[in-house]
A = this chain, B = another copy of it.
Amino acid sequence: MSDTVVVGLDVGGTSTRALAVTLAGERLGTGRAGGGNPTSHGAGRAAAELLTALRAALSGVDPARVRAGTIGLAGAGRLLADPAGRAAFDGAWRDAGLRCPYAVHGDALVAYASGTPHAHGTVLIAGTGAIAAQVRDLRLDRVADGHGWLLGDAGSGFWLGREAVRRLLADLDAGRAPGPLGRRVLAELLGVERVADRPRDTVDAVVQAVTRRPPVELSRLAPLVVAAAVAAEPVAAGLIGAAAGHLADSAARIRPPGATDPVVLGGGLLTGDTPLAAAVGAELARRWPDAPLTTAGDGAAGAAWLAARDLPEVADPAALHALLVPATP
């Protein structure tokens, strides 16, 4: 049984990560490549990054030992519906020397599986965007938000960044001096904290600095909000609280009241010791007091576990989860 190897891949917008691991939990290789989201980068580019990460993870591993694989990626449904995209991924899989089948799942399911082996539960993700999903029998069931920055992503990094700018503009309109968060936003966008003698000139400069770039890049201001909230800046603390409320609202659209199965928090804003993670945790504990709360870990390991658990030699998927997926601190 320890001869058997599984492969997990976590394909994100900015990086692709691969893991080859035995059913005993021995990590044989890892690989990393550039962003491979087929929706934003095209399936051909995504497949090329996939191959790079796969080859690195499999260097020194006999590919005949690999018995199963799972690829987690955003927009999985769109890839599966696109014959050309599917063919590009098939080609990368073969070019890596793999002959076993592989499954494609949404990145939300892989994040969930990196946090818990429980068959049913909820995953709530906040990074640049935001999405909540209900998991049933380790399949994504219903989904809330993930609607993108124009229509949704409430409580995401984009949302925090945009709201920080909106609060700054409201201060400037009203002739109020910006507070600590507003000054940090000014410094980031304009290079200076000072408001012009005509505050409307600063308003115009801020609007132009934001609209010169793709809207989603407002999310780069989210770390300023997080840092200011750590320092108890009141505007930032208010935004973090509002974001936590939006994220819990999204979860509530799909998660029944009184549910006791686990909630997994994922995405850059909810993993690690961030004020948003703490605020969301408190909000979830208030709404679902009996639900265990865990944090997403290594997505490639979660994907590898999803691949392995259906193999005939796996008797106890939960025990295998403990072996394959490192516990998140």
Contacts and interface: CB of A to CB of B under 8 A. Distances in A.
A270 to B, nearest CB: 19
**A interface secondary structure, majority:** helix
Interface string A132-152: 000000000011110110111
A200 interface: yes
A170 interface: yes
Interface string A108-147: 0000000000000000000000000000000000111101
Interface string A185-203: 0000000000000001001
A145 B253 CA distance: 32
A-B CB proximity, top 9 nearest? A144-B173, A174-B253, A173-B253, A147-B207, A150-B215, A147-B169, A151-B165, A143-B200, A151-B166
Interface string A240-266: 000000000010011000000000000
A145 B173 CA distance: 7
Contacts of A143: 173, 200, 203
B144 A253 contact: no
A309 interface: no
Interface of A: 142-145, 147-148, 150-152, 162, 165-166, 169-170, 173-175, 200, 203, 207, 210-211, 215, 250, 253-254
A215 B162 CA distance: 16
Contacts of A250: 173
Contacts of A145: 169, 173
17 contacts: A142-B173, A143-B203, A144-B174, A145-B169, A147-B169, A147-B203, A147-B207, A148-B211, A150-B210, A150-B215, A151-B162, A151-B166, A151-B169, A151-B210, A173-B253, A173-B254, A174-B254
Contacts of A211: 148, 150-151
Contacts of A253: 170, 173-174
A31 B118 CA distance: 71
A162 B150 contact: yes
A175 B143 CA distance: 10
Contact of A207 (B148, B173, B174, B200): B148
Contacts of A203: 143, 147
Nearest to A141: B200
A276 B203 CA distance: 27
A253 B172 CA distance: 9
